[in-house]
Structure 1
Amino acid sequence: MARRRVRLHYIANESSRKTTFRKRKKSLLKKVDEISTLCDIKAAAIIYSPFDSEPEVFPSHPEVRQLLTRFRDMPEMDKTRKMVDQETFLRQRIDKAREQTKKVKRENRDKEISQIMFSCLKGKSVFDLEMRDLHDLYFIIERNLMELEIKKQDKQEKNQENKLNLVEAVPAAAELGRMMRSVFGEGTSRGMEYEADAVPNDANVVPNDAGYGLDIVAATNVFKGDLEASPGRAPV
């Protein structure tokens, strides 16, 4: 069962307030001990309350006194850099909650205008919309068009990169063809097959700067067939 979120407010009932204080004090001191042990740091706690005659000190009076002396000896700027009082802490919490609320409102507004946009695409008239809705609708459409344009440019850049990689692979493929012809001999039937495979055709040829082409798929298939037919033959 999930724990119920505790509402932070002053507990009017003294008995309930005292019970809550005992539990929270024990938990707080336990956390201070845990962080000191796990992270090997110096930490201390001093708790005053109307329910105890003496303040609760952790871990001990000498260690707390030593930490307080060390803190007082620090430069004023370092001492107050991360120090906040209750008012500042609450103000920071309020500002953070406001930012989160604004973000949720923007997201809800975007979803609402997107629904209006899809309704207009299905035939709903834009003349029924208010000026604010029309303005937001224009903003959403422009943003979607911009995102589509960015995706289009990315795709074009990828296609261009693939073409460049293919052109760079042609010299290596041509060298493979020459190696095959040198192994099997240019005058043999198999060597002539490789020469024929190196002749450009309209479907599978990638021209390079020298003006010749190579059918990479066909040459590779023939090379595999030779290896299967002559297992003792190895390319030089």
Structure 2
Amino acid sequence: MIKPLVVITGANSGVGLACAKLYTSLGHPALLLDLNVDNVSALNLNNAVCEHVDVTDPDSFSSAIAKAERQYGPVDCLINNAGIMFLGDIGSQPSKDWHTMFAVNVDGVINGVQACLESMRQQGRGTIINMGSLGAIKPLEHHGIYNATKAAVHSLSEMLRQEVSQSNIRVCVLAPGAINTNLINKTKNPDIIAGHKNYVSSIGGALSANDIATLLLTIYQMPQHICIRELVVGATQQVV
């Protein structure tokens, strides 16, 4: 029996790609969204619809979801995973960088919510999992504006949870520490990149994309009457 539809953003690499593999392996049809879907498309995952979507474009987001729902039924889980990170100091970081981070990390989350919410309300259930960050809770050097985008995700998720809980819709936030993905490669300052890599080495290594995918699945697989509102996780040796 085919399971309910899952929507995953940022599905072409890192955590999103790990989620795509995991959920489809368990029989879930999946709508896999990213600016580039060549990696995930090449896998030919079962019951996967791969769509080139910019999460900052609400019309494109909604259109892709409507298409998948016509094929597989209503969305049961939305994983707002797409994100971008430029590290730097608040006082000197280029405005283009922080505008882009807010557009993807915050606007993209809101667009996903608005694209799925009415369908979830109609079916009387659903799960929205937003990717937050440990940095939203604890200051991390050179992460100032990135942390601010993730703090916004935590805040809007809590308000959304209060708005939709009576519709039997769960809103959850996963707040991970350092993850071994290619996000750091967006930063252009080689000293900051080197410092980040040294820090990751000093804590015995970052969490893997598969680690995070497994945690996201655990949140989703809890009985519908249980909502893990916020789950903070990090490598055991990560002090901050």
TM-score relative to the length of structure 2 = 0.16
Which structure is higher in helix share?
1
Which structure is higher in strand share?
2
Q: Which has the higher contact order (CA 8 A, sep 6+)?
A: 2
